[in-house]
A and B are shown apart, each in its own frame.
Chain A
Amino acid sequence: MATDFWATPLDDLQSQRWIVDRSTLRQARADDLLYVGDPEYLEFLNIYFANVISKLGKKLQLRQRVIATATVFFRRFYLKSSYCETDPFLVISACCYLAAKAEESPVHIKNVITESRSIFSHHYGVKNFPSDNTKLAEMEFYLVDDLECDLVIFHPYRTLLALCKKEDTSGVQSLIAEAEAGEVGAGVAEDDGPRYWGLDGAKLELSEGALQTAWFIINDTYRSELCLLYPPHLIAIAAIYLTFILHGPTQTTIAPLLPSSNSHSDSSPTPSSEDTSQPRRSSRQSHPPNKKPHQDPISFLAGLNVSMQHIATIAQEIISLYSLWDRYREDSSPDASSSSSSKNQHVHRHSPFHSPSKRSATSAGLLSSTGTPEKDDVFGDSGSESDMTCTPAFLTKLLLRMREQRIADLAHPASGKPVAVNKMLERTQAAG
């Protein structure tokens, strides 16, 4: 089994404990499905929640790895609970607070409260987040319990750095240090332990841009539920694999095959000034084209003792994520005053496929000010689904409706589930 080859003693335990299959995932969302209307909204919610966590994490000056850990905590928590039966915003705060401690870079609880209140209220219209330390501390307590005390989280970044190095001799450290100041060890405690990552330390040489792309792809995977489905090392390898497709000499030949690139150009009403020959690009990728790596990447990847079928599946999932993400309009903040800061967030987002044209699309007035999707009948037909976009404001309202409905149903069990959906539909229509 592939994991045997890769596993450290730590990874090994963990991947068995928290990697689930799709039916388990579906089961975990069963209650939410009753209230969400279109199941696709659940996919959008995956992006939405990851963005909220990321936004809060950055405000708290947490490193990327801490944010990733918080996101994994969040996903795992919702394997056991429903969005409609909890307060995801309180859970998000607790995940960030706990992840900071678990990653040995703690932040004060008061600080978490303050920033949570500010971000949730300004960007998501969620007022009345508790101002009381004890509420967050209480949530942390239950969170630790639901996480079964598994607080050490492994991320694909580690595999990426174990497998790849930058092409020139200055090494990967400096590159990543730039993106993630201090992420890699700060010269502390040089590792003299045994290596579990295989290939006797042989590393794949990547150009700086390619390595960065892989890093950013990994960042992006946290907007999906991949971290619940596959162990981190497989996700890392899929990210490397995608890097070869989406970045570098092979890029242009393979790009047209990508479904996301098509949907992207279709849905972009304003042809941006950006070079559109590349399907997506990193906002930082302005340096000259990369030299071809000395090694043959295909045989390197093939030499890894992992199932290439898994890798292909994961890569496909990541591509689907990008195509979904393309229809997610981050900019529509209910609070006008926050738009400048959200713009910043946007620019700094580390997506290799982040397309600035997306922003132009939103500012071109596709969104109504209430933040509801363009499609009028959000719960109805699935006709032009690919055109439908989704906004944070809409999802925030959706979450609240789901919860209200759930509470009503819990209070009056006789009302039955289908009624709940109809009621919600009425409300939406009345509101719209």
Chain B
Amino acid sequence: MLDDWSTAQNDIMRIYRSKRDAARGTVQSKYNILGFISSGTYGRVYKAQSLDQEGKIHAIKKFKPDKEGDVITYTGISQSAIREIALNREINHDNVVALKEVILEDKSIYMVFDYAEHDFLQVIHHHSQTLRHPISTPVLKSLIYQLINGLIYLHSCHILHRDLKPANILITSKGVVKIGDLGLARLIYEPLQPLFIGDKVVVTIWYRAPELLLGAKHYNKAIDCWAVGCVIAELASLRPIFKGEEAKLDSKKNVPFQRDQLLRIFEVLGTPDEAGWPSIVDMPEYNSMKRLDRYSDRLQEWCQTRIRSATGYDLLRQLFLYDPKTRLTAKAALQHPWFKEDPLPTWNAFESAGAHQIPPHRRITQDDAPSMMPVPAQNNSHPHLLGGGGIAGPGAPFAQAQTSKPGSSNSFASVSGGGGGVYVGQQPAGSTGRGQGARKKPRHN
């Protein structure tokens, strides 16, 4: 009799699925796809406009569907997608990207975020290539201040970002910084197993903290703070401060010694020693490190021409402390005197900026937008993480928009009857300030 199970099971699950499919709103029924923004190993990002009355602009991240030959099939949701979905559902902060909804449709996962017009990498490129002039101090300081403010929030939620870099830090057209791409982030509250077990390699090489480069098995929030230091230096100098060559994983997926990256760091900060970092002797790669040429500390010299502020130098110095235990925390960084001296940071990072200082709008392409079909990943000159965990956070200029997100936001209704907050309209209407009107609605709405 129990052999009937599978027949009954198939029938019954077909009924279940068709019920669910019928109840689900499709991406196309809710959004008008305006164009394609970027792609990476995770999938593709599209710019889209909501078809509701507000017509807000969104970035829709479509995870690459799994394929067997040409047939799209279910193979299980990737760890990276699970993380990004799970964490984004829990967080709500002005300086962190806001997830509006997740649509699971036709074997694909679509994450709908609010749109952001710019990112740190755009700002850097705009200044280095178009303006050929450093980022002004008020803009620089405001960007950093908001970045740290968002990081404090993530850390207070026990979330490590693990892939902070200019391309993942977005800015709305209103000058609000939004930390994006939680694809590599994870909760560190009472982890069931050490963090390194899940992902052999974390953080894009140029932003990777020395303890990671030396093979530390245990690491903590300090790795994000190191990355913030790298981002500050990059904004100030318009090029990556530690631009090393990544040694690739070997065929057995062993993590190699990152000699070049460590040398790039040592050239500026000097070779670390036990005095400044007592536990360095316990690092797995300590002996390999000892064989490298020795350098002395030149950070102050580096800062003289680039930061031009004694307190600014001090902030960087403390974020670049080798010992993770003494490295400045996000919370302490926000209290740093640099943020209290003129010019003060502003909540619109572009407040002081002339129109020419703001980078141009994010480029979108039209060709393949309507189909939302996957195409090969585009090249990105900035490096990204193609690590052992198989998780990559390419330099996708991943879009988020300014929003003062209402409390429990999210368009997901709650079964507890608490009322799924309908996506309430507290957001500023056209969240994108300049020029967007001209380029949106290429098709009918």
Chain A contact residues, CB within 8 Å of chain B: 9-10, 13-14, 16-20, 24, 63, 65-66, 76, 79-81, 85-87, 89-90, 97-98, 101-106, 109, 125-130, 133-134, 136-142, 144-146, 148-152, 158, 182-194, 396-397, 400, 403-404, 406-407, 410
Q: Decide: B191 and A145 in contact? CB cutoff 8 A.
A: no
Nearest CB of chain B from residue A291's CB, rounded to whole Å: 28
Q: Decide: A397 and B1 in contact? CB cutoff 8 A.
A: yes
Nearest CB of chain B from residue A296's CB, rounded to whole Å: 29
Q: Decide: A90 and B13 in contact? CB cutoff 8 A.
A: yes
Contact of B191 among A18, A104, A129 (CB under 8 A): A104
Nearest CB of chain A from residue B232's CB, rounded to whole Å: 22
A-B contact pairs, 9 of them (CB 8 A): A17-B414, A17-B418, A63-B192, A86-B16, A105-B193, A189-B220, A193-B155, A400-B5, A407-B12
List the A side residues contacting B408 at CB < 8 Å: 13, 16-17
- As a 0/1 sequence over residues 1 to 41 of chain B, the CB contacts with chain A under 8 angstroms (1 = contact) are 11111101101110111001000100000000000000000
Q: How far is the CA of A194 from the CA of B155 in the complex (A)?
A: 10
Interface size class of B (residues with CB under 8 A): 35 or more
Nearest CB of chain A from residue B193's CB, rounded to whole Å: 6
Contact of B76 among A14, A18, A19, A137 (CB under 8 A): A137
Contact of A149 among B219, B412, B417 (CB under 8 A): B412
Q: What does DSSP make chain A's interface, helix, strand, loop or mixed?
A: helix
List the A side residues contacting B160 at CB < 8 Å: 189
Contact of B193 among A16, A18, A128, A182 (CB under 8 A): A182
Q: Decide: A188 and B218 in contact? CB cutoff 8 A.
A: yes
- As a 0/1 sequence over residues 178 to 197 of chain B, the CB contacts with chain A under 8 angstroms (1 = contact) are 00000000111111111100
- Residue on A nearest B408 in the bound complex, by CB: A13
Nearest CB of chain A from residue B290's CB, rounded to whole Å: 26
Chain B contact residues, CB within 8 Å of chain A: 1-6, 8-9, 11-13, 15-17, 20, 24, 73-77, 79, 82, 85-87, 89-90, 92, 102, 104, 107, 155-158, 160, 186-195, 198, 218-221, 329, 408, 412-418
Known: A129-B6, A400-B1. 11 other contacts (CB 8 A): A81-B16, A102-B86, A109-B75, A137-B77, A145-B104, A148-B413, A150-B89, A151-B85, A151-B89, A186-B191, A194-B156
Nearest CB of chain B from residue A412's CB, rounded to whole Å: 14
Nearest CB of chain A from residue B412's CB, rounded to whole Å: 4
Q: Decide: A138 and B90 in contact? CB cutoff 8 A.
A: no
Contact of B417 among A24, A106, A130, A188 (CB under 8 A): A24
List the B side residues contacting A146 at CB < 8 Å: 20
Q: Decide: B20 and A193 in contact? CB cutoff 8 A.
A: no
Q: How far is the CA of A186 from the CA of B17 in the complex (A)?
A: 41
Q: Decide: A126 and B5 in contact? CB cutoff 8 A.
A: yes
| For the complex of A and B, 7 pairs with smallest distance between CB atoms | A128-B6, A137-B74, A151-B86, A189-B220, A87-B9, A189-B188, A148-B412
Nearest CB of chain A from residue B122's CB, rounded to whole Å: 30
Contact of B13 among A86, A148, A182, A397 (CB under 8 A): A86
Q: How far is the CA of A87 from the CA of B3 in the complex (A)?
A: 14
List the A side residues contacting B193 at CB < 8 Å: 104-105, 182, 186
Q: How far is the CA of A150 from the CA of B12 in the complex (A)?
A: 25
A149-B85, A191-B158, A191-B189 in contact; A16/B102 too (CB < 8 A)? no
Contact of A133 among B76, B92, B187 (CB under 8 A): B76
Q: How far is the CA of A103 from the CA of B85 in the complex (A)?
A: 13
List the B side residues contacting A18 at CB < 8 Å: 414-416
Most buried by B among A89, A158, A184, A403: A403
Q: How far is the CA of A170 from the CA of B3 in the complex (A)?
A: 54
